[in-house]
Structure 1
Amino acid sequence: MKKIVLLLLVSFLFISCWPTTDNGEFARQEYKPVIISRSTLESSIAFQNAQPIIKSGKIYIKDDLMFINDVNKGFHVYDYADPTKPVRLHYIKAPGATDLAIKGNTVYINQAVDLVTATFNPTTKIFTVTNRNKNVFPQKQAPNGLYGYTKENEIIIDWTLIK
């Protein structure tokens, strides 16, 4: 009997902590996938002028450059020669991108489902995509852990909250 009472008490505590709406229903966050075509994804990476950060992600420092991920949007490039005063230089637009790695002048970008290889010459400021390994990574999951459904040659690059 004690076990049943304890189980009911614990269950009540968990349920009472679950977020609810004003009318007492369980609150659920639902998301809609942002989908683009494969051809659009493959032509989407662009080297642009500096832009403000919307949602910062991972930070990567290479020599005097700092790269800050703008989650699922791209990377902000800063001159980091003086760490007390980083200077915004460029923006690498890469829809669906969440991470990068650099070896020498080669940049590896996780762009949605693809692994993209590019080169960057800081002297000439030329950024060139040199290779794309397709479907290396799985489709992006929603923040609540659910998966979206896509047709052939469609890629999920982000998720938006349905209000």
Structure 2
Amino acid sequence: MKTNLLKLLTFCLLTITLSSCEGWENVPDFDVDEVEGYRPIYATESEREIKTLSPREIQDPGKIYVINDYLLLVDRLKGIHVFDNEDPENPQNIGFIQVTGSNDVAVRNNILYADQASDLLAIDISNPENVKVASRVKDVFPFGSQYPQQEGVYFECPDPEKGLVIGWEYTTLQSPKCYR
């Protein structure tokens, strides 16, 4: 009786162990010549700079913040549009704060906190028409934009020599070496 119970327990333990090994059949084949996947988009040195620019068209709107007489509208991966909101019935687009690669921001006490790939920035916006970087903390976000957000996809491995990854484009890849 003890032998049968021991065999049953061993069988159950083995079954549980093997069933917990997910993904064996999901291991990608890296011997593919051509496959759909994601290629990194890199920022130029000029695009990495945090600066106030002239107003521009909104492309991919995100969060909105109201600070004093200003309205701030996030344009994902590009920066923040600045509107003079003194007359809420007629806000005037007065500038654009370039924060290339930013996906999210928060504001407190005239400081705009933003991500730029793996870094955390604190930007003084007391004068939104002439912003200044108050501080930069490097590598706060361990992965930043070094991987596409999608899972179960091939992608071209980022090359740090090419600069800051600010986004991903879906395209045909030749012999990719990365998968997520």
Q: Does TM, normalized by the shorter one, top 0.5? A: yes
User: In the alignment, what sits opposite 1:32?
Assistant: 39
Q: Which has the higher contact order (CA 8 A, sep 6+)?
A: 2
**Structure 1 residues not aligned, in runs of 5+:** 1-27
Out of 75, 81, 103, the position equivalent to 1:70 is: 75
Structure 2 contact 36–171 (Cα < 8 Å) conserved: yes
Partner of 1:133: 137
- The answer for the alignment partner of 1:162 in structure 2 is 171
Structure 1 residues 13-39: Cα deviation after superposition (integer angstroms, max 9, x where no partner): xxxxxxxxxxxxxxx9632111247xx
Kindly provide the amino acid, as one letter, of the partner of residue 144 in structure 1. Q
Q: 2 CA distance for matches of 1:30 and 1:77?
A: 35
- Give the superposition deviation at 1:136: 0.9
Change (3 A) 1:72 1:52: same
1:99 aligned residue: 104
1:61 has 2:69 as partner: no
Structure-1 separation of matches of 2:88 and 2:110:
21
Amino acid at match of 1:107: L
Question: Does the 8 Å CA contact 1:29/1:144 hold for their aligned counterparts?
Answer: no
User: How much identity, in percent, do the aligned residues show?
Assistant: 27
Mapped to 2, the partners of 1:43 and 1:143 lie a distance apart of 21
Q: Which residue is 2:127 aligned to?
A: 122
SS of 2:59's equivalent in the other structure is: coil
Distance in 2, matches of 1:82 and 1:72, equals 28
Paired with 2:74 and 2:156, the residues of 1 have a C-alpha distance of 23
Segments of 5+ residues of structure 2 without an aligned counterpart are 1-34, 173-180
SS of the residue corresponding to residue 121 of structure 1 reads: coil
| 1:150 partner letter | P
Aligned pair count reads: 133
Q: Residue 77 of structure 1: CA displacement? A: 0.7
Alignment-mate amino acid for residue 126 of structure 1: N
* Letter in structure 2 aligned against 1:70: D
Who is 2:55 aligned against?
50
- Root mean square deviation of aligned Cα: 2.7
- Taking a change above 3 Å as real, the CA distance of residues 32 and 149 of structure 1, as seen in their structure-2 partners, is same
Q: What TM-score do the two structures reach when normalised by structure 1?
A: 0.68
Q: Larger Rg: 1 or 2?
A: 2
